[in-house]
Amino acid sequence: MSRLLVRPGETFRGEVTISGAKNSALKLMAASVLAEGRYVLRNVPDIADVGIMGRLLEAMGMSVRRREDAALEIVRGPALVAEAPYELVERMRASTAVLGPLLSAVGEARVALPGGDDFGSRPIDMHLASLEALGATFELSHGMIEGRAGRLVGCEVVLEYPSVGATENLLMAGATAQGTTTVRNAAREPEISDLAAFLNRMGARVLGAGSPTIVIEGVDELRAVEHTVVPDRVEAATFLAALATAGGEVTLRGARADHLDLLIEKMGRMGLRISPEADGIWAMASGRPRPVDVATLPYPGIATDFLPMLVAVMCLADGTSYATENVFAGRFRYVGELARMGAQIRVEGHHLVVDGSARLSGAPVRAVDIRAGAAMVIAALAADGETTIHDAGHIDRGYERFVDKLQGLGADVTRLD
């Protein structure tokens, strides 16, 4: 298993280019199941999860290759194997994004039911209920969800919670359904708007993405297209949090400040100076961070994916911070790892009480998931001595050239194996 070695280094200086969003790229890849032809996706991050989604598309009979100009080319021929096997779903839950496209494109789908993961149990009941509302039927057999559908028929679906994954499956299934699908209480994340833009380019009629009500007027046919993936707001947030513990000055080239409004406001309260620029975000940090209260919520709230990184910064704040996780129950496994570095964190239900320390102490720790891994690096940048981060492969699932990018800013981070 790969490990990272982090030592406290220089303060940050320079520029880092923000990659395309993992959480959008994976869904655009899944959406390419919808129509035959050749797709070109630009700004797709070169990360392990994109590799897994590529393998899934290949297992379904499509071809996926990284071109010399770094764009991802996907070719979908006439035949499809409508199955997402356990080996791939178990490694990456986002594989369930092919459910809606498969039902729409070929009228059947066999997708392994994802089990629990480091976020606790993550059911897909809302995905299934909303696809059922469009006319699909599901059975669970030997750990596989087996779905069938004739041509899907649009209707009004009210989501019980603005689930990102369920909204995406509905968008992709509704695109070629007969009639109009209206999604109420839809997720509003920028990645949803990116998927809607991609589908519209393919010939779909999706209106209102980015708002709580999305209307999809079904069309008879879609076509393969080219598209550029939206910048990764989670990666941008990660570098802002890293700046908060390392200190210094950075420009996040390509980052979209308008996708990070509340985070920028919170990090400003923590002491960062942040200014949106024409093609990115400039930020500067000096001195100890100030304590804040943060609660995660669906977009435009503070993303659950930002919280581990913000908690790492809170560990070094000049006072007590409060963090509340509202999106995923059980997403606190990283707290025990931060405690190994001397962090003072009390878990109370879905709240954390974080007493900031002037310094953390480097220790061997584990990356329990992608964002938790990034949080370990952020804490380690301001810890005395060396921190070895085990299971760093988790970080590679979601961050493109993370070590190179940090080194480019002056951080002392190396890969051990």
**Binding residues for ligand UD1, per CB under 6 A?**
23, 26, 94, 122-127, 161, 163-166, 187, 303-305, 327-328
Quote the least distance from Cβ 297 to ligand UD1, whole Å.
9
Quote the least distance from Cβ 187 to ligand UD1, whole Å.
6
Tokens describing residue 167: 């909204």
Tokens 């007590």 correspond to what residue? 320
Paired strand residues for 388: 5, 364
- Over its C-alpha atoms, the chain yields an Rg (Å, rounded) of 21
**Cβ-based neighbour number of residue 385 at 10 Å:** 12
- Count Cα atoms within 13 angstroms, Cβ side, for 339: 11
- Please say whether the beta carbons of 72 and 49 come within 8 A: no
Query: For ligand UD1, which is the closer residue by CB, 161 or 384?
Result: 161
Q: What is the 3-state secondary structure (H, E, C) of 357-369?
A: CCCEECCEEECCC
Tokens describing residue 379: 């804490």
Q: Which has the closest alpha carbon to 170: 212, 209, 131, 114? A: 131
Quote the least distance from Cβ 338 to ligand UD1, whole Å.
19
Q: Which has the closest alpha carbon to 355: 330, 319, 384? A: 319
Query: For ligand UD1, which is the closer residue by CB, 328 or 399?
Result: 328
Q: Which has the closest alpha carbon to 39: 229, 225, 230, 223? A: 225
Q: Which has the closest alpha carbon to 126: 51, 187, 53, 180? A: 187
Q: Which residue is nearest to ligand UD1 (CB)?
A: 165
Quote the least distance from Cβ 168 to ligand UD1, whole Å.
7
Query: For ligand UD1, which is the closer residue by CB, 163 or 387?
Result: 163
Quote the least distance from Cβ 166 to ligand UD1, whole Å.
5
Q: Of these residues, 46, 49, 69, 117, which one is catalytic?
A: 117
Query: For ligand UD1, which is the closer residue by CB, 18 or 164?
Result: 164
Confirm whether 117 is a catalytic residue. Answer: yes
Beta-strand (E) ranges in 67-114?
72-76, 83-84, 108-112
Query: For ligand UD1, which is the closer residue by CB, 164 or 381?
Result: 164
Enumerate the active-site residues: 117
